[in-house]
Amino acid sequence: MIGEDDVRYVAKLARLHLEQDEMRRMTGELAKILAHIDKMSELDTAAVPPTAHVLDVVDVTRADRVEPGLPRAEALRNAPAVTDDSFRVPRMS
């Protein structure tokens, strides 16, 4: 059963700040959803291969040809903060 400590840990993995009340609500909701999902454990799937993808396409490649990329100004166009033609971010702590 998932508890509030698990939720806090997963939120940290997901880089997701949750307010205290969100954390509490999320714990209840996730417990309920995961309980339903646990229905899967009724099935013996040991001998079943996994499906990651439905199409029989493997090793898709394209010609190794240089194509124009996004111009720097375009790439930076939506950035919240830009310095010296680069994305600006707060310092690492």
Partner 1 sequence: MGALDTLRLTAREAKKLLVDGEVSAAELTKAYLDQIAAVEDRVHAYILVTADNAAKYSTKVDREMQAMRGPLAGLPIAIKDNMVTEGVTTTCASRILGNYMPVYTATAVRQLWDDHVVMLGKTNLDEFAMGSSTENSSVQTTRNPWDLATVPGGSSGGSAAAVAAGEALWALGSDTGGSIRQPAALCGIVGMKPTYGLVSRYGLIAFASSLDQIGPLTRSVYDCALLLRHIGGKDPRDTTSVESPEAVELPSAERLDGLRVGIPREYLAAGIEPGVRARFDATIARVEELGGTWVEVSLPHTEYALSAYYIIAPAEASANLARFDGVRYGHRAADADDLITMYERTRGEGFGAEVKRRIMIGTYALSAGYYDAYYGRAQRVRTLVRRDFDTVFEQVDLVASPTSPTVAFGVGSRTDDPLAMYMSDICTLPVNLAGLPAISIPCGLSGGLPVGFQLIGPAFSENRILDAAHALEAAIGFEPAPAFRDSSAGPEPGEGGSATVAAAGAPS
Residues near partner 1 (CB under 8 A): 2, 6-7, 10-11, 13-19, 22, 26, 29-30, 32-34, 36-43, 45, 48-55, 57, 60, 62, 70, 74-75, 77-81, 87, 89-93
Q: Do residues 73 and 79 make contact, with C-beta atoms less than 8 angstroms apart? A: no
To the nearest whole angstrom, how small is the minimum distance from the Cβ of residue 74 to partner 1? 4
To the nearest whole angstrom, how small is the minimum distance from the Cβ of residue 66 to partner 1? 14
User: What is the gyration radius of the CA atoms in the chain, in angstroms?
Assistant: 22
To the nearest whole angstrom, how small is the minimum distance from the Cβ of residue 85 to partner 1? 14
Distance of alpha carbon 85 from alpha carbon 79, whole angstroms: 11
Nearer to partner 1, 19 or 84 (CB): 19
Distances (CA, A) of 33 to 25, 55, 58: 12, 29, 34
Coil vs helix vs strand at 87: strand
